[in-house]
Amino acid sequence: MVELDPLAHVPDPILHRAARMEDWVQERREARALRGGRRPAVIPYAGYGGDGWVRVLCRVLLVTPGEEQRALYENMRGWRTFTSISLSTAEVTVSSNGTTATVTADRGGVVDAVVPVSLEPGWREVTLTVPGSEPVQAPIFVVDPATRLGVVSDVDDTVMVTLLPRPMLAAWNAFVLDEHARRPVPGMAVLYDRVRRAHPTAPFIYLSTGAWNVAPALRRFLSRNLYPPGPLILTDWGPTHDRFFRSGQVHKRAQLRRLARDFPDVRWLLVGDDGQHDEAIYAAFAKEHPESVEAVAIRQLSPQEAVLAGGRKHTETDSPVAWHMAPNGGGLERSLREGGLPLD
């Protein structure tokens, strides 16, 4: 008698009404674009990997034939990034070192998949292809098995100054602002560079609640302001199967747990600010996985920034790990040095 897999009979989750509406609109935009002669193109994002595997991140869009769509997309500003047409459930071929695997994009055209590929530690590349498109190279940071320290960094108000009321921040960053109008937080790039120099194999993960649509702008901002390169872990825009809008806190908590699982021997320096929920998220993670946290560094907002952010979100932290708080990167660097973190 053949034993059936019980998971094969688990029904797909019933989509929230907003998600069903989003899918209805997306299906019609896709169909119209395909009838108009557009074809798929892969927008690669930086991923990471370990011993024998890589996490591949990219997005599949429908583009006009003959356009250099990757460059065009990377130069888009603000709301224009949200008018691009993604291709849901597209099949993407991942190739590297003679290994080939096929992964499938989600409802928003985003691929976030683990592929069994063996690559040497450091920055490497995998090739991504969809039928009818030119292959593109996606950068992958492969963590050395001997690495014991990594950095997880928030973005808004941690590495870049926003100066906006918190309820308006997501909409403004997504639809209006481009990266040239954003200011880096003083001293943070220097702090990160000193961490990188002292720990050259350390991965830098930029964990944000921003949408994948703005990944190219965020990457340009980080590069222009001399932050160490590293994967951006963002979230899809819009509703989920069970709610009108996805939860940024749930996203961050889930990704921290994933990093602890992916790299059990790495201890993370968690960097955030006191204007959102970073303190509470990091405190909960430190209690849940104290073996995975080296220290927590919180950038304290200025009085003006705190007012715009809706006040400080200070969390009383009965934490098993060291906490460091300062208004800028220079203050955090001094505190971390005094706390014993090697930065030379």
Residues 66-103: tens digit of each pLDDT? 664 554 455 455 545 555 788 888 999 999 988 999 99
CA distance 130 to 273: 39
Say which range, 11-25, 154-168, 210-224, 310-324, has the weakest mean pLDDT: 11-25
Which segment, 28-32, 161-165, 258-262, is predicted with the most confidence on average? 258-262
Q: Between the ranges 144-153, 248-257, 304-313, where is the mean pLDDT highest?
A: 144-153
pLDDT reading at 7 higher than 50: no
Q: Which residues pair with 104 in a beta bridge?
A: 91
Q: Do 103 and 111 contact (CB within 8 A), yes or no?
A: yes
What is the average pLDDT score of the chain? 82
Reported as a pLDDT band with limits 50, 70 and 90, residue 33 is low
The Cα–Cα gap between 260 and 155 comes to 20
Give yes or no on whether 11-26+37-142 and 149-338 have one common fold.
no
- Most distant CA pair in the chain: distance in Å? 70
Name the band, by pLDDT with cuts 50, 70 and 90, for residue 10: very low
Say which residue, 30 or 150, is predicted with more confidence.
Answer: 150
Read off the pLDDT band of 310 (50, 70, 90): low
Task: Provide the pLDDT confidence category of residue 132 given band limits of 50, 70 and 90.
Answer: confident
186-232 confidence digits (pLDDT tens): 999 999 999 999 999 999 999 998 888 888 888 989 999 999 999 99
Instruction: Give the residue extent of every domain in the chain.
Output: 11-26+37-142, 149-338
Quick one: what percent of the chain has pLDDT higher than 90? Answer: 53
Residue 286 pLDDT level (bands cut at 50, 70, 90): very high
Residue 190 confidence (pLDDT)? 97
Q: Which pLDDT does position 26 carry in this prediction? A: 61
The pLDDT, as a whole number, for residue 29 is 72
Provide the pLDDT for residue 299.
95
CATH for 149-338 is: 3.40.50.1000
pTM for the whole thing? 0.84
Residues 278-298, mean pLDDT to the nearest whole number: 96
**What pLDDT is attached to residue 194?**
97
Which pLDDT score, from 0 to 100, does residue 164 have?
54
Q: What is the pLDDT of residues 35-71, one digit of tens each?
A: 676 788 899 999 999 999 999 999 998 887 766 455 4
| 3.30.70, 1.10.540, 3.30.1490, 2.60.40: CATH of 11-26+37-142 | 2.60.40
Are 214 and 177 within 8 A, CB to CB? no
The pLDDT-based confidence of 122 (bands split at 50, 70, 90) is very high
